[in-house]
Amino acid sequence: MCGIAGWVGYDSDLTRQSETVHAMTRTMACRGPDDSGTWIRPHVALGHRRLSIIDLAGGRQPMEVRTPAGAVAMVYSGETYNFTELRAELEGRGHRFRTVSDTEVVLRGYLEWGDGVADHLNGMFAFAVWDERTDRLVLIRDRLGIKPLYYYPTGDGVLFGSEPKAILANPAAGRVVDTAGLRELVGFTMTPGWALWRGMAEVEPGTIVTVGAGGIRTRRYWTLEAKAHHDDLETTVGTVRELMTDIVRRQLVADVPRCVLLSGGLDSSAVTGLAAAHLAEQGERLRTFSVDFVGREETFRADEVRDTPDTPFIREVVDLVGSAHKFVTLNPDELTDPELRRAVITARDLPIGFGEMDTSLYQLFQAIRGESTVALSGESADEVFAGYRWFHDPAAVDAGTFPWLAYQSAMSGDRSAVLNPAVRRLLDVDSYVADQYATAAAAVSHADTDSDVDRRMRTVSNLHLTRFVRMLLDRKDRVSMAVGLEVRVPFCDHRLVEYVYNTPWSMKTFDGREKSLLRAATAHVVPESVRYRLKASYPSTQDSNYNAVLQQQAKEVLADRDHPVHDLIDQDWLTGVVALDPATVPSNVRRGIDRVLDLYHWFDLYHPEFRLD
């Protein structure tokens, strides 16, 4: 796993811009603490920071192959899980390798197939190839959007990077946030290609962006296709089991210590069970990690999103699979540290996050990084197997909008409530969300065999796999890579996604509840109690002192009257919520206070220019 950055300027001499290129590359140091490299030519510059995972000695980048027609150079972030098979195929086609890295396999795959190499890759990746033979840059991102990649067109080329901060390190990139950027930030529709900064865009998942002297063009190489499903239930469960077994096996390949993130839910427990079984065959013992808060198990209170504490279920999984487990127990008081909040904001480049669920995740990953470099996660199973509670809530499914916005719970609330009335009127978020939903729903294709129910649920599934999941993948990547930890997501293997996407709703819920196929396919490696546990969200602290500290910090924001955040926030709303009894602050209000604090610190870190009209 790594961080990449680069610059193409067809009318520029970039050999005179080495300091700027190095500055762009340095912003990715957290993603790649092990090595750094640049490749600079008159019209192109590539930068790379490396987190060494495979072929520790031989996988240095930028990587270059010289051909009679010119050099081909690449910077690559990610993992290609089928690189062994691809290497053998390419060797059969006459290619000779200097390393045993997956990076060289991808580069030589480009030499063989051009940008069609994307069709051959199984993995998570974002990479850039400069092809001197055609004087063009090719940017390619994986199918589900696991690895991030952004670009910023300029007058004579483009800037690009794994994260916006790499692009913003170049003076040619403006730090302007306009109405469109802010509208999506609070609208939470996950508009494809969106980036907060004006002029910047995300390379969409499954997409190739080609930059030449004549301009920029994009091509979609992968999309979710609706197909009829012909397998019976037994065959379907068996296929999911075979896919999951193969996926986990492939994603355990690494030349560094690896582990599994274990929450005690079905998703992570399934990955844990499969990983433990595979490693046991090799005489290895799996390592697992989980997060909790001081005293949480003893003082736990059930709520709308968490029926039970995680710890008892985690212990049952550990007892079954025999993993070497470590509980990372956090002190809620530490989660309110402003420096920790600023670290997370810097990691995500965003002014609105998930409060202590982000800061605790950051601390969890920090603790794991001290003992492991690679972690497998259960992320995205809810999108693939329909695990969220709103999938099974008719009111949310039939609301005529994005289900995650329609679903009502203690966490629900108006994300724009913290903004002042004038800004809210300008953004008109309700109209924006309605337009985005209409566009997204109209783009979903259906199979001729789909029933009315299947058509509706295929739409819901598509929205999650093409929009909602991207936000969670970005969060997991950015927070983990901020501490140099590579997190892999087996449930985002495109083979599994494609197969389950086309199973009828009656199969996805054949036992009368969520994630029926996953439950049946992994029953042999998961304790019965976990198999039938209700979906629970990522843990958050229930300590009312956390609320009190947030309220005190919000009072300090109110007192800092000249701060630019006051051009956006609703001071009356904030004044009201800081006066509440900390023990009775609703979850959605706490999230609102978190958003204000995020905005406050983000202004200080990024110095944005707002142009709202």
β-bridge partners, 6: 46, 160
Distance CA 302, CA 478 (A): 30
N residues, the chain: 613
- Alpha carbons 557 and 565: distance in angstroms, whole number: 9
Give the residue from 311, 336, 338, 339 showing the smallest Cα distance to 325.
Answer: 311
Cα–Cα distance, 40 to 37 (Å, whole number): 10
Between CA 543 and CA 335 the distance in angstroms is 11
Q: Which one-letter amino acid corresponds to residue 347? A: A
Q: Is 259 a catalytic residue?
A: no
Q: Is 192 in contact with 184 (CB distance < 8 Å)?
A: no
CB distance 49 to 28 below 8 Å: yes
CB 154 within 8 A of CB 172: yes
Q: In 502-586, which residue ranges form alpha helices assigned H by DSSP?
A: 505-508, 516-521, 528-531, 544-559, 571-578
Tokens of 508: 């996805």
The burial of 117, by beta-carbon neighbours within 10 Å (0-12 exposed, 13-18 middle, 19 or more buried), is given as: buried
The span from the CA of 56 to the CA of 147, in Å, is: 21
Q: Which of the residues 2, 30, 259, 492 is marked catalytic?
A: 2
Tell me which H or E stretch contains 83: helix 83-92
Cβ atoms of residues 185 and 352 within 8 Å = yes
Contacts (Cβ under 8 Å, ≥6 apart) of 581: none
Query: How far is it between the farthest Cα atoms of the chain?
Result: 73
Q: Give the integer Cα–Cα distance in Å for 482 and 358.
A: 12
- For residues 519 and 382, what is the distance between their CA atoms, to the nearest angstrom? 12
Scanning 306-355, the segments in alpha helix (DSSP H) are 311-321, 338-348
Contact 466, 194 (CB under 8 A): no
The tokens for 110 are: 């480009």
Q: Known catalytic residues?
A: 2
